[in-house]
A and B are shown apart, each in its own frame.
Chain A
Amino acid sequence: MLKAKFQATIITVLLFIGLLGLWNMRRGGPRQASAAQAEPAKETWHKEFDAICAKTEDAMTFSQEELTDLIRRCDTLRPQIEKLDESQKKVYLERLRKCRGLYDYVLDAKRKEKK
């Protein structure tokens, strides 16, 4: 009688552990997969664009050398964007122009400040 009860407890515990494992797999596994699908890997030009234009709000804190480098990176990126399809080119060239314009503006202001 005791043996049967012990066996039933063991089976219940094992079942519980198994179900818990399955539930965790369902929760974690596909979610990671869908997240990866939802955010496709960005192309190299796009990564560079994000890296350059993510700094506009800190432009005033950069040194003249850092600003010059950002402007140079904008100029290097421009021909790559010009090769994109018409819609992407239209949007990203305009955005790049704004980023570059701001860095150039801050650099100019810093130069004038030094004089």
Chain B
Amino acid sequence: MTTSSMQKGKRRNERRHVLLARVCVILLLGNVALAQVYLPKPPPEPSEYGKVILDNYSATEPGPVVFDHWLHRSKFTCRLCHVDVGFAMEAKATGISASTNRQGFHCGACHDGKKLFEGKPIFAACSDSAHDQQCDRCHSLGKKRARKYEYKTFTAKLPKGIYGVNWGAAEESGIIKPVDFVEGLSVKQAPMQSRKDFSIKAAYSWVHPIRFSHEKHAIWNGCELCHPEIFPSTPKGTVQFSMFHNIEGQYCGACHRKVAFPLNNCQRCHPSAPLWAPGRLP
């Protein structure tokens, strides 16, 4: 074999290696991109997380309502508002209006100027009486200093997790005691029988199993908030819950993408997993 043919063979091999390396880089980038698509996006700041803007009648005064979940969830269970009071889980599905509020429904179920919370009357929502009018307390979008409570000062004494307040710990320590009954709307029920927590095998072998706090969910949500709409009836083992579904807002993602602790907080559900929190706040 001549020297020139040996050099040609060497160059061909080098070219093959470069091509292989390029293919590997492309595949690697493709995988990273795909993983990024299916990683939960970093949640917003805790003060903004769970914020709902109600602008059914934004064209007219007094303008859109800003509803902060963090304020109300410190005082009431999810079940009370989303089952007894009838707030839907989807935007614009409830049909809240000044009229329903004035008749003692929706916001007016509690905000009627008469009901007491911690010894003080709860201000009336959409009151006709000029004396009680405090429109800007709720219709506060874009209005400075209209809100009474600020996230930072309000949550100063509450235990914190990776993404803001750890509401479970706050309740366990007795700092918050969410109310689960509103006079006139709630139906008296016998105390709930204990729902045992259980483990769920993950869809993929490399994912750590899920510890599902059924009892906590049942107490805060009741049964009908999750079943059948979020978790429909299926024969055991036929549906595999995956993070892809959750990130798209199905199953756990129905709440844990918008209001309850975000999906990025891996260890809260996969307790044996390594501490990893994509998009963790500084």
State whether these chains interact.
yes
Q: Which of B34-77 contact A (CB under 8 A)?
A: none
Q: How far is the CB of B177 from chain A (nearest CB, A)?
A: 19
Chain B 180-197 interface mask (CB, 8 Å, partner A; 1/0): 000001011110110000
Closest to B184 in A: A39
What DSSP secondary structure best describes chain B's contact surface? loop
List residues of chain A with CB within 8 A of the CB of B100: 87, 90-91
B105 touches A90 (CB 8 A): yes
**Does A59 lie at the interface of the complex (its beta carbon under 8 Å from any beta carbon of B)?**
yes
Q: How far is the CB of A31 from chain B (nearest CB, A)?
A: 17
A53 and B232 CA atoms in complex are apart in Å by 19
B189 touches A112 (CB 8 A): no
**Does A45 lie at the interface of the complex (its beta carbon under 8 Å from any beta carbon of B)?**
no
What number of B residues sit within 8 Å (CB to CB) of A?
30
A59 touches B223 (CB 8 A): yes
Closest to A113 in B: B236
B193 touches A95 (CB 8 A): no
Q: How far is the CB of B278 from chain A (nearest CB, A)?
A: 33
Q: Which of B1-9, B81-89, B129-137, B249-257 contacts A (4 or more CB under 8 A)?
A: B81-89
A57 touches B105 (CB 8 A): no
**Does A75 lie at the interface of the complex (its beta carbon under 8 Å from any beta carbon of B)?**
no
B193 touches A61 (CB 8 A): yes
What number of A residues sit within 8 Å (CB to CB) of B?
28
A108 and B223 CA atoms in complex are apart in Å by 15
List residues of chain B with CB within 8 A of the CB of A101: 224, 227-229
**Does B103 lie at the interface of the complex (its beta carbon under 8 Å from any beta carbon of A)?**
yes
**Does B205 lie at the interface of the complex (its beta carbon under 8 Å from any beta carbon of A)?**
no
List residues of chain B with CB within 8 A of the CB of A91: 85-86, 100, 105-106, 185
**Does B279 lie at the interface of the complex (its beta carbon under 8 Å from any beta carbon of A)?**
no
Q: Which of A65-105 contact B (CB under 8 A)?
A: 86-88, 90-92, 94-95, 98-99, 101-102, 104-105
5 tightest Cβ-Cβ pairs between the two chains A and B: A105-B228, A102-B224, A108-B233, A98-B224, A91-B86
B-to-A contact residues, CB < 8 Å:
83-86, 88, 95, 99-100, 103, 105-106, 185, 187-190, 192-193, 218, 222-225, 227-229, 232-233, 235-236
